[in-house]
Chain A
Amino acid sequence: MTDLPNSLRTGPDARGHFGQFGGRYVAETLMPLILDLERHYRAAQADPAFKAEFDYLLEHYVGRPSPLWFAERLTEHLSGAKIYLKREDLNHTGAHKINNCIGQILLAKRMGKTKIIAETGAGQHGVATATVAALFGLPCTIFMGAVDVARQQPNVFRMKLLGAEVVAVESGAKTLKDAMNEALRHWVANVHDTFYIIGTVAGPHPYPELVRDFQSVIGDEAREQILEAEGRLPDMLIAPVGGGSNAIGLFHPFLDDADVEIVGVEAAGEGLDKKHAASLAGGRPGILHGNKTYLLQDEDGQITEAHSISAGLDYPGIGPEHSWLHEIGRVRYEPVTDAEALASFQKLTRLEGIIPALESAHAIAAAERIAPTLGKDKIIIVNCSGRGDKDIFTVADALGVEL
């Protein structure tokens, strides 16, 4: 498939670029390490033992394959296209994040690195990283904005239980982007023994590529499962996009199937004319955290604060491959507001008995908007990227409920 001359799945190029996006915009100190990481990743890709260990851990530790669930009551309610949910919420640690962490810690082991660091926003990637660090017996430091530490206490405690040190980052706006800055600062001073497990399809090459590859298990499984269930490919895929790792994981195996329409959902926060986190709808190309991509920024290139009710989407950038898929028009990106996501969070919970993560609720909201406009013979796969237990305090607060 990837050998097709017109394939959309061959990126990035040798320099890590997806069209004009991606690249390796890092300090010189990190550059040799990035090149070393790429060499080790190429060797791992060619090593059947690496894939075998990855697959083993995904099956027996993460619990894959995750089910593809026909959401019959939601489908009836919307009276349009059939909706299937890819149940990444059922993975160990409750979201897709663990897929990537398994892959990267295996790389860390191959490279002989003895310490693990990661950034986290809501804490899901931090928990997944702390989990694999515990599994492999490696010391782990998680950088988390001080504001996020305060509002995500259960995940902070989870990480500590798993043996991780959680560093509350006091610089900047004290949220995800500042946590990433601080992780990069720590990394640059500890490159000799430390592996940085980046949580999304962003950062310098080869991170966007390798995170995508580790997450593509989502789309590979979904493809097989829908063929089994329906005997054909879906008409549409929908996934939420912050940095975009769950989305690219679902989308990538379908990019060359021209008849499969693909929709990414950006967080429109309070609305695109107010505070939001929709980098494609409200930003423009720039350079941050090692890659060129769409960013929320002012006319001088200063990065502006993102806002979303979903902490996992609360980031002023997006993975570079998404910026490219947006510009070439292969994927359509639509905004969904906090209020819409909140309504869909409750609707899915009541109709299917599935409490989705607020991130995933953004994709459900888009499906609710689109499904009724399609015929009942059409099929949509929505990525239920995580479970919503972590969000119940945020949701209660938004609904004015005291717990």
Chain B
Amino acid sequence: MTDRFAATFAKPRPALVAFITGGDGNTAANLDALVAGGADVIELGMPFTDPMADGPAIQAANLRSLAKGTTTADLFAIAAAFRRRHPDTPLVLMGYANPMTIRGPEWFAAECAKAGVDGVICVDIPSEEDAELGPALRAAGVDLIRLATPTTDAARLPDVLNGAGGFLYYVSVAGITGQQQAAQASIDEAVARLKAATDLPVAVGFGVRTPEQASPIAKVADGVVVGSAFIDIIAQHGDAAAPYVETFTRSLADAIHGAKEIAA
């Protein structure tokens, strides 16, 4: 685990993990707003033409970004500039296999390390295809963050955890981003099961859109991931979204950071 992840998850409070799509709206200003509002970990989405695990909001954000001409080089420039402005906030790139591997995994891993990226989430490289990206990232000191889902059974879980770093991302619904919310009981059960199997922090995402939804999840998890709700704000306010992003981030951060105190 990178030092930034270790420091973030060592805090005695759950983390807000915030996702936005790179190149959609004023990304630098929105990233600053996320940090100012209290986000603990940033997931920067790499736009792809065919985001088949994403719901309508993030699909549209991908296409808006690409329509503006966002390139992979632009993404790494955004990441590197973020790292200069925010030396302590963990930064994760999230996206799809083809843009990550097209120049070879070593190239991608080296660019991540150079830009100060702490972790990578690749939606469509399961543990079975780890060779495509995992070894190069680990060699470059970048964490490969794995996804566990409601369909990940006990037999598979060790394979999913093998080679995983940073934190474990629990996809709480079998589905796509930004759609329905999982039942809290199923999240409680899953997080307990995952935490029994790994020392990695467990963050829960998919379908979490409000402080009210985030709070009970934060009671049991080490982090809560919110994405589509930020994307909706950016879609609505365009280049002037940063103040709205910051206000919304603060409401989420307050709910998540305080969740375990209320419980105690």
Query: Which residues does A use to contact B, with CB under 8 Å?
Result: 15, 23-33, 171-172, 177-178, 180-181, 184-185, 188-189, 191-192, 286-290, 295, 297, 299-303
Contacts and interface: CB of A to CB of B under 8 A. Distances in A.
Interface string B123-135: 1111011001000
A15 B151 CA distance: 20
Contacts of A29: 149-151, 171, 174-175
B176 interface: yes
A361 to B, nearest CB: 29
7 contacts: A25-B126, A29-B171, A33-B151, A184-B52, A185-B176, A189-B175, A286-B101
Nearest to B55: A185
Given A27-B124, A188-B175, A300-B72, A32 B59 contact: no
A25 B174 contact: no
Given A288-B98, A301-B99, A185 B53 contact: yes
Interface in B196-214: none
B114 to A, nearest CB: 17
B102 A297 contact: yes
A14 B173 CA distance: 30
Interface in B144-176: 146-153, 156, 160, 171, 173-176
B129 A303 contact: no
B50 interface: yes
Among B50, B55, B72, B132, which residue has the most Cβ atoms of chain A within 10 A? B50
Nearest to B174: A29
Given A287-B96, A295-B98, 11 more contacts: A15-B128, A24-B129, A31-B151, A171-B59, A181-B51, A185-B55, A189-B173, A191-B174, A286-B101, A287-B97, A289-B52
B50 A181 contact: yes
A268 B160 CA distance: 42
A286 B179 contact: no
B238 interface: no
Nearest to B102: A301
A286 B102 contact: yes
Given A27-B147, A171-B59, A287-B98, A181 B126 contact: no
Contacts, number: 114
B52 to A, nearest CB: 4
B193 to A, nearest CB: 15
A182 B156 CA distance: 26
Given A184-B52, A300-B72, A303-B49, A31 B98 contact: no
Contacts of A189: 173-176, 179
Contacts of A288: 50, 98
Given A28-B148, A28-B149, A177-B50, A287 B175 contact: no
B182 interface: no
Contacts of B156: 31-32
B137 to A, nearest CB: 16
A191 B153 CA distance: 14
Given A28-B152, A172-B63, A189-B174, A181 B98 contact: no
A171 B179 CA distance: 16
B125 A25 contact: yes
A28 B98 contact: no
Interface string B18-62: 000000000000000000000000000000111111111001000
Contact of A303 (B50, B100, B179): B50
B247 interface: no
A289 B96 CA distance: 11
A287 B160 contact: no
B101 A181 contact: no
Nearest to A32: B151
Given A189-B175, A297-B102, A23 B129 contact: yes
Contact of B171 (A28, A33, A287): A28
B160 A28 contact: yes
A25 B53 contact: no
A25 B97 contact: yes
A191 B150 CA distance: 11
B22 to A, nearest CB: 12
B66 interface: yes
A292 to B, nearest CB: 8
Interface in B49-83: 49-56, 59, 63, 66, 71-72
A369 B263 CA distance: 77
A172 B174 CA distance: 23
A15 B54 CA distance: 26
Contacts of A295: 98
B13 to A, nearest CB: 28
Nearest to B75: A300
A172 B124 CA distance: 19
Contacts of B101: 286-287, 301
A25 B132 CA distance: 10
B42 to A, nearest CB: 22
Nearest to B48: A302
B72 to A, nearest CB: 5
Contacts of B175: 29, 188-189
A347 B174 CA distance: 51
